Amino acid sequence: MNKRNFKPADAAELYQVPNWSSGWFRVSDQGQLEVTPAPGLHAPLRAIVDEIVDRGESLPVILRFPQVVAGRVRHLNEAFRKAIGEYGYSGHYQGVFPIKVNQRRAVVESVAAAGYEYMHGLEAGSKAELALCLAQKLHPDALLCCNGFKDDGFIKLALWGRSLGKNVVITIEKFSELDRILRQAKVLGVRPAIGVRFKLHARGSGQWEESGGDAAKFGLNAYELLRVVERLREENMLDTLVMLHTHIGSQITDIRRVKVAVREATQTYAGLIAAGAQMKYLNVGGGLGVDYDGSKTTFYASMNYTIDEYAADIVYTVQEVCKARAVPEPVILSESGRALTAHHAVLVMPVVDVTGPTRDIEEVPPPTEESHQIVRDLADILENITARNYREMYNDAAGDKQTLHNLFDLGYVTLDDRARGEALFHAILRKIAKLVQNEKYVPDELEDLQQVLADKYICNFSLFQSLPDNWAIGALFPIVPLDRLDEYPARQATLVDITCDSDGKIEKFIDLRDVKATLPVHEVGKEPYYLGAFLVGAYQDVLGSAHNLFGKVSEAHVFVRPGGKFTIDLFVRGQKARRMIESMGYEEPMLRDSIEDQVDAARRAGTLTPAQEYELLEDYGEELLGYTYLEYEDAGMEDIPAPEQGSDMAPADAPKVAADKAPKAGQKDFIER
Ligand SMILES: *Cc1c(COP(=O)(O)O)cnc(C)c1O
């Protein structure tokens, strides 16, 4: 990679865009990150964000691309069609989308619309989800699978769904649900369609390995499975048992686990037929992975197979077992959620400030006669660092700094000495940073040093709201600057969010092998600098939480048109402060009354003039109705101290933000939250 003659292709490689994007995003020849939802369609993300800012909207924002959801749905279905055609499989594929992955209207409606021609259905895991699913427009033969623990209300809704002509299947997750279903079916006079979830002994791989195996939370064992058959036979209802369901966990990283599980599932399916059930559907559950780090390995953030291989291996395995057992080939279902939705959403985070050990441009006063020995030692180190010894010198300096602080605690080092010592240590880091920067290859053992030297890029977002899996389970998401990808990113950074929680930071980034501690980024100037977090469309929206009362992020639904053009079809404003406060049990009038009472008292006490009183109430009201994230008039980056080492890059050539930020009057496609 050439620093001086850095090309967009180099950026694509550095950020591994082709590896993780599966073709839905690319780096353009102009150094822009582009979405590419279909052949010939492309739009630069930076231009979309600029349009949003021009409309007077605040960031952060989630960009949603319904075309990408549709593309994923088609890809999955076509992959199965192809495999079924190639193997001469006599059944068909008919997936369901588990809406827990993302219940957002735009997502569910995109899946339903694109899936219509494939009879793609939905899966609900709770009463609320089922209520939502029942109201969707699906192909009449599309399946609506009801999983999760069920009470009578849940079962009734599912049965009424059948009366509405929908292909609803109620999955028995634990044995006692069978009686509930039979009872409600009699009460309502509706014949159910029943599925059984089987606890495979096969397990998944990766983070959700525990979802499978004998100790799994859901499912029946072999004995219970046969009791279901007996019970239904007694009731003369064995024909209602139509589906076998299995699920070995999400994000299966290793295709061999899929094959092993599908083999066991198909044997079980054949066993049920042998026991007299007239089965029709074999549901292999979720687990189809997303290659977040692009490494194509069994690493937890990756997967060692493609969608096409997944489909082919399932169809092949089911067919093989069915042939051997001489049973009819079932309709195959998967409940793929993550793989359908992860790619469609991008979180855009503006960088609002930069700090870092090599940026503090303190004066470094030379030690005096009175300075403590430890300070003079640090001065010596600074003097003597070279390209050959900096590793060793760094270790010495780090040890001296520790000693400096210990001595300070004991009263042997003065505040003045401490200040000199710390300034020297930072100067040492700056000098080392310069030497490291000149190295062609940074050896692995220097990575920890790179982490120490890294900048902190402060980004206007909440990790807990927008990337909760990064915090909770260390999930990795590719993060890439939206533009300037024709410039060498000369800085290394970790990211911090704006919550007051020290966990609100990102210090692990995707890498071809394992993870990286820092992200290559550009120096930021006065122009806005935006980072995109990609593949965030699965699970993040709904798992996100309101830490510090940072609320839901604004969303733009973007449609890409020919010729590099796009339209923002819908903009949903992020939650207002008032909504967040009210969600905690307060009411707006209560807040306003309290402030007004205090204002009255302050006026009487003479600490507020009438003019100030008016302004105070105005400002308070404005914030209640405002976005919960930082809203800078400017980019908020006037004071970022330049790093010590001269960067030789060209200044940012980002498009100007329009001065007139007022929202356009009569804009219909805006929704308030
Ligand atoms: C969560 C879940 C899914 C979705 O899994 P993905 O890995 O996101 O495809 C499917 N089925 C069941 C039963 C689930 O619990």
288 pLDDT above the threshold of 50 = yes
Q: What is the DSSP string of 392-452?
A: HHHHHHHHHHHHHHHHHHHTSS-HHHHHHHHHHHHHHHHHHHHHHHH-SS--GGGHHHHHH
Bridging pattern class, strands 41-44 and 530-533? unpaired
Q: Which residues have a Cβ under 8 Å from the Cβ of 639 and sit 6 or more positions away?
A: 353
What does the DSSP 8-state code read for residue 148? S
Chain segment 468-489, per-residue pLDDT in tens: 999 999 999 999 999 999 999 9
Question: At a CB cut-off of 8 Å and minimum separation 6, what does 163 contact?
Answer: 188, 190
Distance 337 CA to ligand 1 centre (A): 6
Task: Establish whether 182 is an annotated binding residue.
Answer: no
Distance from Cα 335 to the centre of ligand 1, integer Å: 6
State the residue for tokens 């024909």. 239
Name which residue sits closest to atom 14 of ligand 1, judged by CA.
Answer: 286
C-alpha distance from residue 2 to each of 358, 444, 499 (Å): 24, 20, 37
For position 648, what pLDDT does the model report? Answer: 33
What are the start-end ranges of the E strands in 164-322? 167-172, 194-197, 241-245, 281-283
| 287 CA: nearest ligand 1 atom | 7
With a 6 A CB cut-off, is 253 part of the ligand 1 pocket? no
Q: Is 330 in the pocket of ligand 1 (CB under 6 A)?
A: no
Is residue 288 within 6 Å of ligand 1 at its C-beta?
Answer: yes
CA dihedral of 34, 37, 39, 43, whole degrees rounded to 10:
-30
Residue 655, pLDDT score: 34
Task: State if residue 338 touches ligand 1 by the CB under 6 angstroms criterion.
Answer: yes
**Angle in degrees, 0-180, between the axes of helices 415-438 and 390-410, rounded to the nearest 10:** 160
249 is in an annotated binding site: no
287 annotated to a ligand binding site? yes
pLDDT of residue 251: 95
Coil, strand or helix at 347 = strand
| Structure confidence by residue, pLDDT tens digits, 457-472 | 999 999 999 999 999 9
Prior bond to 330 cis, omega within 30? no
Q: What distance in Å separates the CA atoms of residue 494 and residue 598, rounded to the nearest whole number?
A: 43
Q: Is the CB of 248 under 6 A from ligand 1?
A: no
Atom of ligand 1 nearest to the CA of 211: 15
**CA-based nearest residue to 316, from 148, 163, 495, 88:** 88
According to the annotation, is 283 in a ligand binding site? yes
Query: Which atom of ligand 1 is closest in space to residue 208's alpha carbon?
Result: 7
CA atoms within 13 A on the CB side of 55: 25
Q: What is the side-by-side order of every strand in the sheet holding 241-245?
A: 96-98, 121-124, 143-146, 167-172, 194-197, 241-245, 281-283, 331-333
Q: What is the DSSP string of 294-320?
A: S--SSSTT--SS-HHHHHHHHHHHHHH
Q: What is the pLDDT of residues 153-203, one digit of tens each?
A: 999 999 999 999 999 999 999 999 999 999 999 999 999 999 999 999 987
Atom of ligand 1 nearest to the CA of 339: 9
- Tell me: is residue 271 an annotated ligand-binding position: no
Q: Ligand 1 atom closest to Cα of 252?
A: 7
Give the residue among 538, 162, 512 at the shortest CA–CA distance from 341: 538
pLDDT at site 369: 85
Question: What is the enclosing helix (H) or strand (E) of 26?
Answer: strand 25-27
**Span from the CA of 489 to the centroid of ligand 1 (angstroms):** 38
Mean pLDDT computed over 272-295: 96
The pLDDT, as a whole number, for residue 368 is 85
133 neighbors 144 (Cβ within 8 angstroms): yes
Ligand 1 pocket test, candidate residues 120, 171, 250, 341, most atoms within 8 A of CB:
250
* C-alpha distance across the termini of the chain, in Å: 46
d(C-alpha 251, C-alpha 339), whole Å: 9
Our answer on whether the CB atom of 336 is closer than 6 Å to any ligand 1 atom is yes
- For residue 643, is pLDDT > 70? no
- Residues 501-549 have pLDDT tens digits of 999 999 999 998 889 999 999 999 889 999 999 999 999 998 999 999 9
Residue nearest to atom 3 of ligand 1 (CA): 286
192 ligand 1 Cβ < 6 A: no
408 or 633, higher pLDDT: 408
The span from the CA of 25 to the CA of 478, in Å, is: 12
Q: How far is CA 261 from CA 51, 84, 200, 255, 301, in A?
A: 48, 19, 7, 10, 21
Closest ligand 1 atom to Cα of 101: 8
pTM attached to this predicted model? 0.91
CA–centroid distance, residue 487 to ligand 1 (Å):
41
Q: Are strands 33-38 and 281-283 parallel, antiparallel or unpaired?
A: unpaired
Pocket test for ligand 1, best of 96, 335, 469, 473 (most atoms within 8 A of CB): 335
Q: Is 284 annotated as contributing to ligand binding? A: yes
* 483 alpha carbon – ligand 1 mean position (Å): 35
> Is the minimum distance from the CB of 289 to ligand 1 under 6 angstroms?
no
Which residues partner with 98 through β-bridges? 123
Is 625 a known ligand-binding residue? Answer: no
d(CA 542, CA 407) in angstroms, rounded, equals 50
Mean pLDDT, the chain, integer:
91
Higher local confidence (pLDDT), 204 or 248 = 248
**Position 180, amino acid:** R
Tell me the pLDDT tens digit for each residue of 295-317.
999 999 999 999 999 999 999 99
* Pair type for strands 33-38 and 565-572: unpaired
How big is the chain, counted in residues?
Answer: 673
Greatest Cα-to-Cα distance within the chain, rounded to the nearest angstrom: 100
With bands split at pLDDT 50, 70 and 90, how would you rate the model's confidence at 129? Answer: very high
More confident residue, 262 or 634: 262
CB 106 within 8 A of CB 132: no
Pocket of ligand 1 contains residue 216 by CB under 6 Å: no
Nearest CA to ligand 1 atom 10: 286
Q: Is 285 in the pocket of ligand 1 (CB under 6 A)?
A: yes
- The tokens for 121 are 């259905």
Comparing 593 with 647, the larger pLDDT belongs to 593
Which candidate, 81, 71, 19, places its Cα nearest to that of 311? 81
As a whole number of angstroms, the distance between CA 104 and CA 285 comes to 21
* Ligand 1 close to Cβ of residue 286 (< 6 A): yes
* pLDDT bracket for residue 670 (50, 70, 90): low
- SS3 state of residue 262: helix
Q: Pick the closest to residue 533 from 575, 572, 497, 574 (CA basis).
A: 497
Compute, in angstroms, the gap from residue 95 CA to the centroid of ligand 1: 12
Positive or negative, the Cα torsion across 656, 662, 665, 670? positive
